[in-house]
């Protein structure tokens, strides 16, 4: 495996190789993805947004949490949205699934559209994370919950992607971002993931899940 070639595809997969990389990431991210969905505690008739859904493999898992759930997925990669639409065409036909390419800093929906929002292993790529969080705040309803899941920087655990444009986050780095918004972290959860193999090495990665609540905007 060409480690550099893979790393450069992760932020915005494109072309046939990007499709192949996404398939590999499905395996590597299955645990962190499904754990995030469980923590969302999705209820009947809720509207859910996933930011950076990749090829949409796990959409059906979200819809299985209840009846009448409406799922919206966005990704900056047009290739991934095309794949997600192909993989979930039967679900899109139900009218309960919407997929489109968009940047987290400019989500093309009305204010307070979603009950639950999640994003998994995408924060590393956000160009302006405070602006992104404020945009997420805008589209989340007043009682809404956001979960941001990622693998924090821990010396000796990193997969060494930083030289390819990633920004690795420690817990305190993310907490500092939240303090610049009208969100509040209500719970932090840490999981040791099942062993995975990547780039010829086996890893037991640590993942963190920040459950964040929308607060009324602060008044100046």
Tens of pLDDT, residues 63-104: 999 999 999 999 999 998 999 999 999 999 999 999 999 999
State the Cα–Cα distance between residues 48 and 115, nearest whole angstrom: 6
Q: What is the pLDDT of residue 197?
A: 74
Domain 3-214 part of CATH 3.30.465.10:
no
Q: What is the pLDDT of residue 198?
A: 65
For the chain, give the percent of residues with pLDDT over 90: 68
For 158, how many CA atoms within 13 A lie in the half-sphere containing its CB? Answer: 14
Q: Is 118 exposed, middle or buried (0-12, 13-18, 19+ CB in 10 A)?
A: buried
Q: Is the dihedral of CA 53, 139, 69, 151 positive or negative?
A: positive
pLDDT, mean over the chain: 87
Q: What is the pLDDT of residue 203?
A: 74
Q: Indicate the pTM of the whole model.
A: 0.88
Return the domain boundaries, the chain: 3-214
Q: What is the mean pLDDT of residues 180-187?
A: 96
Q: What is the pLDDT of residue 69?
A: 98
Q: Is 57 exposed, middle or buried (0-12, 13-18, 19+ CB in 10 A)?
A: buried
Q: What is the pLDDT of residue 46?
A: 98
Residue 112 vs residues 56, 103, 117, 119, 141: alpha-carbon distances, Å: 23, 17, 11, 17, 4
Instruction: Note every long-range contact of 42-46, with CB atoms under 8 Å and residues 24 or more positions apart, other chains counting.
Output: 42/66, 42/69, 42/116, 43/115, 44/68, 44/69, 45/69, 45/70, 46/70, 46/115, 46/116
Q: What is the pLDDT of residue 135?
A: 98
Q: What is the pLDDT of residue 166?
A: 74
Q: Is 100 exposed, middle or buried (0-12, 13-18, 19+ CB in 10 A)?
A: middle
Stretch among 2-11, 55-64, 151-160, 173-182 having the lowest mean pLDDT = 2-11
Write the pLDDT tens digit of every residue in 128-167. 999 999 999 999 999 899 999 999 987 655 555 555 567 8
- Beta-carbon neighbour count of residue 150 at 10 Å? 19
For residue 1, pLDDT beyond 50: no
Q: What is the pLDDT of residue 22?
A: 54
């Amino acid at each position: 495996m060409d480690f550099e070639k893979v790393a450069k595809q992760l932020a915005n997969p494109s072309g046939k190789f990007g499709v192949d990389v996404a398939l590999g990431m499905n395996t590597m991210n299955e645990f962190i993805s499904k754990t995030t969905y469980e923590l969302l505690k999705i209820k009947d008739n809720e509207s859910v947004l996933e930011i950076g859904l990749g090829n949409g493999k796990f959409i059906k898992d979200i819809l299985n949490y209840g009846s009448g759930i409406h799922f919206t997925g966005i990704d900056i990669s047009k290739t991934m949205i095309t794949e997600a639409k192909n993989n979930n065409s039967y679900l899109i036909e139900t009218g309960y699934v919407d997929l489109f390419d968009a940047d987290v800093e400019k989500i093309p929906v009305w204010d307070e559209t979603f009950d639950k929002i999640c994003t998994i292993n995408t924060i590393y790529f956000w160009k302006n994370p405070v602006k992104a969080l404020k945009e997420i705040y805008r589209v989340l309803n007043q009682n809404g919950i956001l979960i941001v899941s990622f693998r924090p920087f821990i010396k000796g655990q990193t997969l060494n992607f930083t030289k390819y444009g990633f920004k690795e986050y420690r817990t305190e780095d993310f907490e500092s971002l939240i303090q610049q918004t009208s969100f509040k972290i209500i719970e932090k959860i840490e999981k040791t993931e099942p062993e995975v193999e990547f780039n010829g090495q086996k890893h037991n990665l640590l993942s963190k899940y920040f459950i964040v609540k929308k607060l009324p905007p602060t008044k100046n």
